[in-house]
């Protein structure tokens, strides 16, 4: 392999070269801006990338997420292949191009355009046999990319074939970038096939060279195609900052920031900026969002919320509407915490609202027990649950104190989710004081909303916080209560705050399976659909909630169970009026199935 052109230059490289310099400069400035916007503490945290464990995690995540798109593979094979073929294939072409330059024309090392247009500048020599390996792998990866591009084009028209009911609507910048991306690789194939008989090629470049010999052997056609290839690349780089493809470089930065422990604290700090630009608008969150049951509400899903943020437009409406069920975060292949961003939006708008929460008081309990039960507001509205709990505890002969039997002080989560941190803090302090002074060692909760709150926002050292689904399951396992079997079948609804929010999926299922046949629903565990009752939304009207409840019920009742069981009082209250079958809390079911 040796150089064909003495100067190693042709004007057609200019579009690419200028585009490349532009994008590198843009990214450098962007990265510096993001790093500068970190506060001093966070800047210090950046040095943690030198800790080997962190470095390992960062590299691993970059390979798995940015190149191989493993998370998307897990959702849908074809969709995963589409993303990873383009990303990984392109990456390999660049790497291999550089290796070729290093091996065959080391004097051109460091010239930006040389590895990209390598085939144009070189010709085969007697060493070809050595180069044939590269011809093959280069063609192989090009083929992989082309198959990915073909899938991408197909997906634009038939997204459901790739496991997506709906895909993102694009705007001008996205479209130009998209079309130039689609063009890059077919043009590269064509361009390289021109020179396949000069600089070598393998099964596809050579093949095309043979097939269209009369066209590609005409030297007058060569340069225009290389120009076109270079222009497509240049155009892509120029539109990159205005398109969703900014996610390609930004995601790497996001992974770094995440692994050194930096988190979003405002809408435009370094981390959230990186999150916003890391969104590839793949649209996976659209199908996941319960609001997408209504087509006109797709505009409120996270992908569009983040686009509003990126354009610095007003994002208040989607932020307030969101149910905060966290499913979009769960399925996001980039791991963008859009719920947190929405929460920050709300803090800006609602943080100043102030009420007085001081008048409510707990009656001081007459006895001290190791077990303290706190039902919370929602359980006080569903007395069947607290009644069932007291029956179960009595049967297991466990004495306990019911902290809020008479009146309850809210756990603070609704205020926290509405963005009023100050108000939430006030409630947290009041509850915390009462719980600690009760001298309990275990805090039993019925409401997953409270559970998440007590677990994460209360500093209850030495006190075990446990949800009743887990607690009762342990009672059964330790034979403190014995359950009989029934022939009824049931389906279990994962409450957002217990499942995705706290990672409790198995214990309630184990408990139910010990009493009856537990049926599956198509979307369950972390894919479960919010019941629609979530107090996470500030502004969602009942009409919209009803549609979501209906959609969630349809999913749950797919396999026609006799009973819908959940472990959240709010889900129970939301499903009951609309469910034609019985809805029950897991504690109710247990209290009915207990053998004395």
For binding to other proteins (CB under 8 A), which residues are involved? 380-384, 387, 405-407, 542, 546, 572-573, 576-578
The token duo for 97 is: 């191009």
Closer residue to other proteins in complex, CB, 225/388: 388
Helices within 419-561 (DSSP H only) = 421-437, 448-456, 468-477, 506-513, 542-556
CB 483 within 8 A of CB 548: no
Residue located via tokens 């139910």 = 512
Kindly provide the b/e burial profile for residues 485-508, where b requires at least 16 CB atoms within 10 angstroms of the residue's own CB: eeeeebbbbbbbbbbbbbebbebb
Whole-number Å distance between alpha carbons of 218 and 393: 88
Residue 163: which region, alpha, beta or left (left: phi > 0; alpha: psi -120 to 50)? left
Minimum distance, C-beta of residue 54 to other proteins, in the bound complex (Å): 48
CB 430 within 8 A of CB 528: no
Closer residue to other proteins in complex, CB, 546/581: 546
Whole-number Å distance between alpha carbons of 82 and 153: 10
- The order of strands in the sheet holding 371-374 is 400-402, 371-374, 442-445, 464-467
Closer residue to other proteins in complex, CB, 220/366: 366
Closer residue to other proteins in complex, CB, 59/381: 381
Minimum distance, C-beta of residue 393 to other proteins, in the bound complex (Å): 16
Minimum distance, C-beta of residue 497 to other proteins, in the bound complex (Å): 19
The token duo for 92 is: 């390999």
Whole-number Å distance between alpha carbons of 111 and 97: 12
Pairing of the two strands 489-492 and 563-566: parallel
Give the count of alpha carbons within 13 A of 126, CB side only: 0
CB 364 within 8 A of CB 336: no
Closer residue to other proteins in complex, CB, 24/381: 381
Closer residue to other proteins in complex, CB, 55/578: 578
CB 578 within 8 A of CB 533: no
Minimum distance, C-beta of residue 573 to other proteins, in the bound complex (Å): 7
Closer residue to other proteins in complex, CB, 258/493: 493
Closer residue to other proteins in complex, CB, 94/381: 381
Closer residue to other proteins in complex, CB, 52/577: 577
Residue located via tokens 């007291």 = 390
Minimum distance, C-beta of residue 298 to other proteins, in the bound complex (Å): 24
Minimum distance, C-beta of residue 550 to other proteins, in the bound complex (Å): 10
Minimum distance, C-beta of residue 378 to other proteins, in the bound complex (Å): 10
The token duo for 391 is: 């029956």
Which of these, 151, 163, 160, lies nearest to 83 by C-alpha position? Answer: 151
Minimum distance, C-beta of residue 61 to other proteins, in the bound complex (Å): 44
Closer residue to other proteins in complex, CB, 65/404: 404
Minimum distance, C-beta of residue 382 to other proteins, in the bound complex (Å): 5
What phi, psi does 492 have (nearest 5°)? -110, 130
Minimum distance, C-beta of residue 577 to other proteins, in the bound complex (Å): 4
């Amino acid at each position: 392999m040796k150089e064909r052109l003495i100067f190693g230059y042709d004007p057609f490289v200019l579009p690419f070269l200028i585009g490349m310099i532009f994008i590198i400069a843009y990214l450098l400035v962007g990265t510096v801006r993001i790093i500068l916007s970190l506060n001093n503490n966070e800047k210090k945290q950046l040095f943690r990338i030198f800790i080997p464990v962190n470095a390992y995690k960062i590299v691993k995540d970059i390979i798995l997420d940015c190149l191989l798109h493993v998370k998307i593979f897990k959702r849908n094979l074809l969709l995963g292949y589409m993303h990873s073929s383009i990303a990984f294939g392109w990456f390999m072409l660049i790497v291999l191009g550089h290796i070729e330059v290093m091996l065959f024309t080391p004097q051109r090392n460091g010239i930006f355009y040389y590895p990209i247009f390598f085939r144009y500048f070189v010709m085969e020599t007697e060493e070809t046999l050595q180069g044939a390996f590269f011809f093959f792998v280069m063609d192989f990866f090009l083929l992989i990319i082309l198959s990915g591009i073909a899938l991408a084009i197909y997906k634009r028209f038939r997204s459901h074939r790739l496991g997506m009911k709906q895909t993102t609507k694009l705007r001008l910048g996205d479209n130009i970038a998209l079309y130039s991306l689609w063009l890059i690789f077919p043009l590269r194939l064509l361009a390289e096939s021109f020179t396949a008989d000069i600089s070598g090629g393998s099964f596809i470049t050579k093949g095309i060279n043979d097939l269209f010999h009369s066209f590609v052997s005409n030297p007058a056609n060569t340069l225009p195609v290389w120009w076109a290839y270079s222009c497509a690349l240049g155009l892509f780089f120029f539109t990159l900052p205005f398109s969703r493809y900014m996610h390609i470089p930004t995601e790497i930065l996001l992974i770094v920031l995440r692994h050194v422990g930096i988190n979003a604290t405002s809408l435009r700090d370094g981390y959230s900026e990186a999150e916003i630009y890391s969104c590839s608008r793949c649209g996976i969150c659209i199908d996941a969002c319960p609001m997408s049951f209504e087509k006109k509400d797709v505009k409120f899903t996270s992908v569009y919320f983040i686009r509003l943020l990126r354009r610095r437009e007003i994002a208040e409406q989607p932020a307030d509407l969101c149910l905060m069920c966290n499913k979009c975060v769960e399925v996001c292949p980039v791991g963008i915490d859009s719920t947190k961003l929405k929460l920050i939006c709300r803090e800006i708008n609602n943080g100043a609202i102030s009420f007085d929460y001081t008048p409510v008081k707990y009656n001081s309990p007459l006895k001290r027990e190791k077990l303290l039960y706190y039902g919370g507001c929602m359980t006080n509205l569903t007395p069947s649950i607290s009644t069932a709990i007291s029956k179960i505890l009595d049967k297991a002969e466990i004495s306990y104190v019911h902290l809020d039997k008479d009146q309850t002080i809210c756990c603070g989560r609704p205020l926290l989710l509405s963005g009023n941190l100050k108000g939430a803090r006030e409630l947290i302090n009041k509850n915390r004081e009462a719980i600690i002074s009760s001298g309990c060692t275990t805090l039993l909760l019925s409401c997953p909303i409270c559970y998440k709150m007590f677990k994460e926002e209360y500093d209850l050292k030495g006190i075990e916080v446990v949800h009743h689904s887990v607690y009762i399951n342990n009672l059964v396992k330790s034979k403190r209560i014995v359950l009989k079997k029934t022939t009824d079948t049931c389906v279990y609804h994962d409450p957002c705050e217990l499942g995705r929010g706290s990672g409790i999926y198995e214990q309630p299922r184990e408990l139910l399976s010990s009493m009856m046949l537990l049926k599956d629903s198509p979307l369950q565990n972390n894919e479960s659909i919010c019941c629609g009752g979530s107090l996470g939304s500030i502004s969602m009207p009942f009409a919209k909630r009803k549609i979501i409840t209906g959609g969630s019920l349809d999913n749950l009742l797919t396999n026609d169970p006799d009973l819908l069981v959940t472990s959240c009082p709010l889900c129970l209250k939301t499903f009951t009026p609309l469910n034609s079958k019985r809805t029950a809390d897991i504690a109710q079911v247990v209290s009915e199935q207990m053998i004395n």
